[in-house]
Homo-oligomer: A and B are copies of this chain.
Amino acid sequence: MQADARVRVAVNGFGVIGKRVADAVALQNDMTLIGVADVVSDHRIKVAASRGYPVFCSLDEKRAEMEAAGITVVGALDDLVRDVDVVVDCTPKKVAAQNIERYRAAGVKAVFQGGEKHELTGYSFVAQVNYAGAVGRDFARVVSCNTTALARVLHALHRRGWVKRARAVLFRRATDPWESHVGGMINTVVPETKVPSHQGPDAQTVIPDIDITTLAAAGPFNLSHIHFAMVETTRPLSVQEVREALLAEPRIAFVRADDGLVALNSVVELMRDLGRPRGDMWEVAVWEDSLAADNREIYLTYQVHNEAIVVPETIDCIRALTGTERDGAASIAKTDAALGITKTFIPAVPVGAHGGI
């Protein structure tokens, strides 16, 4: 740890997750973004440079190309790694799994993303579920967007001893919004071949004793995932009990169809209207007026913004690994305040804010 007490952070891989993590790190008052590393030379990394993020090159053979594109390359990835306390690895799957040895050799801690297997780090992290166990570890994996959402929602119920058995069907987006290669998923739905799908077992890496089965499919849309969860409960629950449990849980917020928020895109439009950076929704959005319960089961429909949901988890994981904050709730509170994460998407109007005529 450096003398100034701020954690020194590198982001390796400036893609969909990496660019958001970099911005989020830059917003924390107990962290310093030392640099970002990538291999591309196009607008993506130029935006990083224009924000004043020091840019490093992850592959020596790409450096000339980056410099030819007008990008000031501050150094190689190893230079960056050597200079930080923790690396957030947001590189593609196979690359990330190879990088761990590099980080180990350099003696830096590292946060990996959900594309990696649980076994890579031995610790799968969702802040509100298992922050404490990650404190002081060298490595941890922030689980995928779908698993993070499952863990947040189910933990709210499971911690109260309510979950007998959970089932969920996950409709995943076809691709990320920035991608546009020719071809692909037009006018169809692609069910996962493997049943049950991997997300259920992955949720168990975070909540080991939960009984859960998931099915999944991908469809021709790119704004978010949507989950339909059916949770058998250990006793009959009222909708109000479920509602209160979700209200008490961080990073879950309600939307209402009868408030005009009727679909994935209308919730995204709300994020745009709220001035969120990139329209990001870090919270799981649960449809409040679709909450239902019968005498043995509860039903939940919720939206998962796959680009954004793991960003606050990653920030918390940095604090856990480096031990700068040993209390999960305190870290969550810091992160949420810095990013603007809320329990109420549409803020109440301040009393007396409007005058009459």
> How distant is the Cα of A175 from the Cα of B220 in the complex, in angstroms?
13
Which residues from B are CB-within-8-Å of A226?
Answer: 189, 191, 217
Bitwise, A202-224 to B at CB < 8 A (1) or not (0) is 00000000000101011111110
> How distant is the Cα of A228 from the Cα of B182 in the complex, in angstroms?
19
Residue A61 lies at the interface, judged by CB distance under 8 Å to chain B:
no
Residue A64 lies at the interface, judged by CB distance under 8 Å to chain B:
no
Q: Are A220 and B186 in contact (CB under 8 A)?
A: yes
Kindly specify which of A102-110, A115-123, A319-327, A349-357 makes contact with the partner chain: A349-357
> How distant is the Cα of A326 from the Cα of B174 in the complex, in angstroms?
49
Q: Are B273 and A275 in contact (CB under 8 A)?
A: no
Partner among B52, B71, B171, B186 whose Cβ is within 8 Å of the Cβ of A222: B186
Interface residues, chain A, CB within 8 Å of chain B?
Answer: 19, 40, 42-44, 46-47, 49-50, 52, 54-55, 71-72, 74-75, 79-80, 83, 167, 169, 171, 173-175, 177-196, 213, 215, 217-223, 226, 228, 230, 257-266, 268-270, 272-275, 277-279, 287, 289-292, 294, 297, 299, 301, 345-350, 353-357
Ordered by A's residue number, 28 sampled pairs between the chains whose C-beta atoms are within 8 Å are A47-B346, A75-B356, A79-B357, A167-B230, A169-B215, A174-B186, A177-B186, A179-B183, A180-B184, A180-B186, A180-B265, A181-B184, A183-B185, A184-B184, A185-B186, A187-B222, A188-B221, A188-B223, A189-B219, A189-B226, A191-B257, A193-B262, A196-B292, A213-B294, A219-B219, A272-B278, A275-B278, A279-B279
**CB-nearest residue of chain B to A300:** B195
Sort A-B residue pairs by CB-CB distance and give the 4 closest, nearest first: A184-B184, A42-B260, A188-B265, A180-B263
Q: Are A290 and B191 in contact (CB under 8 A)?
A: yes
Q: What distance in Å separates the Cβ of A50 from its nearest Cβ neighbour in chain B?
A: 4
Which residues from B are CB-within-8-Å of A182?
Answer: 174-175, 184-185, 190, 218
Partner among B213, B223, B289, B355 whose Cβ is within 8 Å of the Cβ of A297: B213
> How distant is the Cα of A260 from the Cα of B38 in the complex, in angstroms?
15
> How distant is the Cα of A10 from the Cα of B195 in the complex, in angstroms?
41
Partner among B71, B187, B278, B289 whose Cβ is within 8 Å of the Cβ of A186: B187
**CB-nearest residue of chain B to A257:** B193
Q: Are A74 and B354 in contact (CB under 8 A)?
A: yes
Given A196-B292, A287-B191: A49 and B349 interface contact (C-beta under 8 Å): yes
Which residues from B are CB-within-8-Å of A192?
Answer: 290
Which residues from B are CB-within-8-Å of A180?
Answer: 184-186, 188, 190, 262-266
Which residues from B are CB-within-8-Å of A269?
Answer: 177-178
**CB-nearest residue of chain B to A287:** B191
Name which of A71, A74, A196, A357 has the most chain B CB atoms within 10 A of its CB. A357
> How distant is the Cα of A353 from the Cα of B79 in the complex, in angstroms?
18
Q: Are B357 and A191 in contact (CB under 8 A)?
A: no
Q: What distance in Å separates the Cβ of A2 from its nearest Cβ neighbour in chain B?
A: 15
Which residues from B are CB-within-8-Å of A260?
Answer: 40, 42-44
Which residues from B are CB-within-8-Å of A167?
Answer: 167, 230
> How distant is the Cα of A17 from the Cα of B58 in the complex, in angstroms?
43
**CB-nearest residue of chain B to A50:** B347
Q: Are A270 and B183 in contact (CB under 8 A)?
A: no
Q: What distance in Å separates the Cβ of A263 from its nearest Cβ neighbour in chain B?
A: 4
Partner among B19, B40, B43, B55 whose Cβ is within 8 Å of the Cβ of A354: B55
